[in-house]
Amino acid sequence: MKISAKVSNSLFKFLEHHQIEWNELDTYQEFPFEKAKNPEAWIEARELEDFLGAFSKWHGKEDIIYDVALKSVELRAWGILDSVLKLVQDPKDLFSTPERLLAYFIHPEPVVTSSVDGSQFRLEMPFDSAEWPYFSLYLKGVFETLPCFSQQPAAGVTWQGCQLIVNLSSSQENLLASVEPHQFKPDFVAKLLEAVDVSQRRIESLNGRLAEKEKEINFLKTSLAASAEPLRNKFQQELEETYQDMSRLGDYFSRAHQLITLFSSNPEFKAILKKTNWDSVALQYPELIEKLKVRTEFLQKGELIPESKEDKEAASESQKPPLFQLIKKQMDSL
């Protein structure tokens, strides 16, 4: 069995209405707080019952759940149902179809047997009040306050075991006779309630399908993460090896530069160096190696490579040949 989050949303609306801090409830880690604030959502019955108990202990008033239910008209925590209930002129119209009324709070729709004796309605509830004490306390308050949506006095409700008795006071009938009736026909209201019921079931179906899709997405994310891990490790290994190769390449160039410096006193060799623009290569090569090493370090950390001032200048002077092309051009000219 599942219980509507209209119940839990009522608690949060009650706290907001009375400006009561409830951060302490965050310690109840198992409870889906986001879902609990959506009046169209459903929560496992045991999960919500345990939370109602925890809420009562946290608040300190044993029947606070009952008090919250009695404030349902002003809290407006039930979504579209709040507006629909205010269209009902005679509360008897609600209690005459108790299974539909309970379907707004219990899923799947419960089987309820009922009998009517004047202004008294006897309902055989689908569970004993002792089985779900906190939720039953809330429902008792709901049945009492339902006539208030039609601006009628609250009903008298008793609940023993599985039998719930609703008594509409005689003053209600007198009040109904003296108040100008709504312009909504009972048939219209009944159809509207039925439409709300159908819409709610469609929302439940869509939420169920959405939950399935979320499961599929999470499964795909997990699968992709698992399959990508070996590739990520391989990529990190390749980056590390590339970094080491660049370090060695820089060392090789330094040795070559030292060797070339020794022979630079030779006029013919000096002419070759000038022809190949070696001075420019010797100046740019160390900077290039350092830049590549820095970029590799950023890739190893999984970070974006920042655009340097040199990169921006290079972008504006794209007509200039890259270093590698410059070296190749000079080498080809030998």
pLDDT over 70 percentage in the chain:
78
- Residues 8-54 have pLDDT tens digits of 999 999 999 988 877 655 556 678 888 899 998 899 999 999 999 99
- Residues 70-127 have pLDDT tens digits of 999 999 999 888 888 888 888 888 888 888 889 889 988 889 999 998 889 999 999 9
Candidates 3.90.1520.10, 3.30.230.30, 3.40.50.150, 3.40.50.620; CATH matching 2-184: 3.90.1520.10
- Residues 187-214 have pLDDT tens digits of 665 666 666 667 766 776 777 778 788 8
Instruction: Please tell me the predicted confidence (pLDDT) of residue 4.
Output: 93
Instruction: Identify the H or E element spanning 14.
Output: helix 6-17
Provide the residue ranges of all domains of the chain, joining segments of one domain with +.
2-184, 231-332
More confident residue, 98 or 179: 98
43 forms bridges with which residues in the sheet?
3
Binned at pLDDT 50, 70 and 90, residue 155 comes out as very high
pLDDT of 135 over the 90 cut: yes
**How many CB atoms are closer than 10 A to CB 12?**
19
**How large is the average pLDDT for residues 159-182?**
68
The set of residues, in sequence order, having a beta carbon less than 8 Å from that of 234 and lying 6+ positions away, is: none
Q: What is the DSSP string of 75-108?
A: H--STHHHHHHTT-S-THHHHTSHHHHHTTTEES
Confirm whether pTM is higher than 0.85: no
